[in-house]
Amino acid sequence: MYKQVTEKIKNIMKNSKIYIGMVIITGLIFGFLGGMLGVWWMIQYGGIENNVIGSVIQKKETVKLTEDSAIIDTVKKVQSAVVSITVKSEVQSFYGPSEQDSEGSGFIIDKNGLILTNKHVASSNTSSYIVTTYKGETYDAKLKATDPLNDLAILKIEAKDLPVLELGDSDDMQIGQRVIAIGNALGEFDNTVTTGVLSAKDRDITASSGNGSSSEELSGLLQTDAAINQGNSGGPLVNILGQVIGINTAAAQSAENLGFAIPSNMAKSAIASYQKSGKISRPMIGVRYISNSKEIAEQNSLPSSEGVIVYSGNQYLSAIISGSPADKIGLKQYDIIIQIDDKKINAENTLRKILLNYKVGDKIKIKYLRDGKEKTATLKLSEAN
């Protein structure tokens, strides 16, 4: 009897397991079908898939807006102090005199109307200058000063309470930092904004006018890949805080997005000089030179790869300016100036940068190499013309 009862219980349990298993399998099947039906319904009626895709798109847009917002805020902060400059000059041709217009950019550095721009934009007292502000207001401007060593000029308009840009520390900028250029591109598209990074520092270039009629040696420049087009000259190159770290001055014609700007620290000393004396006064030694380098030293078997080499590179120009301090102490072409007072001249501490710390009339001790021998001399800095 007990055995029969036991067998019956086993059969019941076996049948129950089969039944439970079937219930579970059936539940899973109907659950899966129900889930698929729910997904289908959500897709058809703007449900889960659209919501997920929309969420992803919204997230991407939010990230993008966050990345761009700093640039947008900077542009809003500085653009009101950027101006367009129209230059009207009288030129002589075969048919007689005629008026010629050219365009450039600038920015306000004083609330009472001082404007900084390039010397190659504004350099002649016989030309007339018209400044157009961000709001579209126009003013006649007067040329107040030009920098004899750098491509800088100062204009003045009669206005008050103008927005002003702050000059930052160009020496503090790091390669790869984001920069923004603003200017009157091609003389047609005012307040054009381009962005990029600081590509390099302390670049030396020969900048030529558009028609090749004149050229100027410029050194210690900032290099950027932010597009600098014709008409951008004189406009600001700013960091992400809206501080001016450079004055746009030139672009390589044979390359894309290879632009150059005068460091703001050079502009600071020019502005300070003008505010003190009414002109931009620069001290000079009186030499034309090229920066030394490891490659130049190796190629020419020079005793040092630092300093600057007194050299003209132009058969019509002497390396030593006649009557200058360098001329008076007897410097010669191919001398290598390696030190001013206690400051060594190298890629990080250029001669031009060192001289920014001195004034006209200061006495300095220079150390130089001639035929491999070290020499020293003391000279009195004169004013650059």
Active site residues: 120, 151, 233
Residue with structure tokens 């021998």? 373
User: Which is it for the CA torsion 235, 239, 244, 247, positive or negative?
Assistant: negative
d(CA 361, CA 379): 9
d(CA 104, CA 124): 14
Contact 146, 123 (CB under 8 A): yes
Q: At what angle do helices 48-78 and 2-44 cross, to 10 degrees?
A: 40
d(CA 319, CA 309): 10
Buried b (16+ CB within 10 A) or exposed e, 291-327: bbeeeebeeeebeeebbbbbbeeeeeeebbbeebbbb
H/E run at residue 181: strand 178-185
Residue with structure tokens 């007897």? 330
Contact 330, 375 (CB under 8 A): no
* 69 phi, psi to nearest 5 deg: -60, -35
Give the largest Cα separation in the chain, rounded: 137
**DSSP class of residue 165?**
P
Dihedral of the CA atoms 26, 27, 29, 32 (nearest 10)?
180
The first and second tokens of residue 46, run together, are: 């703007």
d(CA 170, CA 238): 10
Contact 334, 303 (CB under 8 A): no
Is 240 in a helix, a strand, or coil? coil
Can you state the percent helix, strand and coil of the chain, rounding each to 5?
30, 35, 35
The first and second tokens of residue 255, run together, are: 């390359």
d(CA 250, CA 155): 20
